[in-house]
Amino acid sequence: MTATVSGPPVAGTARRDVPAFVRAGERMMWIGGRQVAAASGRTLPNTDPATEEALASVPRGEAADVDAAVHAARAAFTDPAWAEMSPDRRGRILNQIADVIEEHADELATIDSVNMGAPRMLTAHMLAEASEVFRYYAGWPTKLSGVSVPAGKDRMAYTRKEPLGVVGIIWGWNGPMGQLPGKLAPALAAGNTVVLKPAETASLSTLRLAELLAGTDLPAGVVNVVTGLGAEAGQALVAHPGVAKIAFTGSTATGKLVQRQATDTLKRVTLELGGKSPSVVFADADLDVAVRGVAAGFLGNAGQACVATSRVFVEESIREEFVEKLLKTMEAFTPGDPLTPGTLVGPLSTKAQFDRVSSYLDIAREEGANVVTGGRRFGDHGYFFAPTLLDDVRPDMRVVREEIFGPVGVITTFTDIDDAIAKANDTDYGLAASVWTTNLTTAHRMAAAIEAGTVWINTWAEMSTGNLPFGGYKQSGLGREGGLEGLDTYTQVKTVRIAL
Residues serving a catalytic function are 272
Strand, helix or coil at 51? coil
Residue 26: burial class (beta carbons within 10 Å; 0-12, 13-18, 19+):
exposed
The DSSP secondary structure of 83-113, one letter per residue, reads: HT--HHHHHHHHHHHHHHHHHTHHHHHHHHH
Q: Is the dihedral of CA 247, 248, 249, 252 positive or negative?
A: negative
**Considering only CA atoms, which of 442, 480, 472 is closest in space to residue 458?**
442
Q: Is the dihedral of CA 282, 285, 291, 295 positive or negative?
A: negative
338 alpha carbon, distance to own chain's centre: 18
Q: Is the dihedral of CA 149, 155, 158, 164 positive or negative?
A: negative
Q: For helices 87-103 and 181-189, give the axis angle rounded to 10 degrees.
A: 160
Residue 24: partners with Cβ closer than 8 Å, 6 or more residues away: 54, 55, 56, 57
Count the residues in the chain: 500
DSSP 173: S
Measured between alpha carbons, how far is 129 from 140 in angstroms, rounded to an integer?
18
Residue 84: burial class (beta carbons within 10 Å; 0-12, 13-18, 19+):
exposed
77 close to 193: Cβ distance less than 8 angstroms: yes
Give the pairing of strands 43-44 and 58-59: antiparallel
120 close to 106: Cβ distance less than 8 angstroms: no
**Considering only CA atoms, which of 429, 420, 425, 386 is closest in space to residue 406?**
386
The DSSP secondary structure of 295-338, one letter per residue, reads: HHHHHGGGG--TT---EEEEEGGGHHHHHHHHHHHHGGG-B--T
Measured between alpha carbons, how far is 197 from 183 in angstroms, rounded to an integer?
12
Query: How close are the terminal C-alpha atoms of the chain, in Å?
Result: 76
Q: What is the identity of the amino acid at 473?
A: Y
Strand, helix or coil at 379? coil
Q: What are phi and psi of 209, to 5 degrees?
A: -60, -40
